[in-house]
């Protein structure tokens, strides 16, 4: 199982970016998909996640600015980031809780490779 993230880049404050992360491989089901970020010198933190029923959760500082969504048919999660601020600058990682085919119970956690988001003031 692999997670492939894309969509990062450099944007001015107030701008927008859209991140995508596609899961591929020996997948039976995906429970929760989400995005984390890690800024230099800081711990990795949850930005937003979405479960298989479409229920979402957001870190307080991004509420009203970011929107997470998923396409279950494509095993893909998206993060639309609007009104970006310099403090949003970080490496963004996608995360998924996946049950591989052939595994009767339980979930394994997978991470994407990270994509840099830089917001200039």
Mean pLDDT for back-to-back runs of 10 residues, the chain (121 residues):
96 98 96 97 97 97 98 97 98 97 89 96 94
Determine the Cα–Cα distance for residues 85 and 111; give it in Å rounded to an integer. 25
| Strand spans (E) along the chain | 2-6, 9-12, 17-24, 27-38, 45-50, 56-58, 66-71, 76-81, 90-100, 108-111, 115-120
Q: What is the per-residue pLDDT for 82?
A: 98
Angle (CA) 112-113-114 rounded to 5° is 95
Q: What is the per-residue pLDDT for 73?
A: 95
DSSP readout, 43-55?
A: --EEEEEE-TT--
Q: Could you report the per-residue pLDDT of 27-42, keeping only the tens digit for each?
A: 999 999 999 999 999 9
Q: How many CB atoms lie within 10 A of CB 11?
A: 17
Determine the Cα–Cα distance for residues 25 and 85; give it in Å rounded to an integer. 35
Q: What is the per-residue pLDDT for 104?
A: 83
Determine the Cα–Cα distance for residues 82 and 25; give it in Å rounded to an integer. 31
């Amino acid at each position: 199982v692999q997670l492939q993230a894309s969509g990062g880049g450099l944007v001015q404050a107030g701008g927008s970016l859209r991140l995508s992360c596609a899961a591929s491989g020996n997948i039976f089901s995906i429970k929760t998909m989400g995005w984390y970020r890690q800024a230099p010198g800081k711990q990795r933190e949850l930005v937003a996640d979405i479960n298989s029923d479409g229920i979402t959760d957001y870190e307080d500082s991004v509420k009203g600015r970011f929107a997470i969504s998923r396409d279950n048919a494509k095993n893909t999660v998206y993060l639309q980031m609007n009104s970006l601020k310099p403090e949003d600058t970080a490496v963004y990682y996608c995360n998924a809780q996946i049950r591989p085919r052939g595994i009767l119970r339980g979930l394994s956690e997978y991470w994407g490779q990270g994509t840099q988001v830089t917001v200039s003031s």
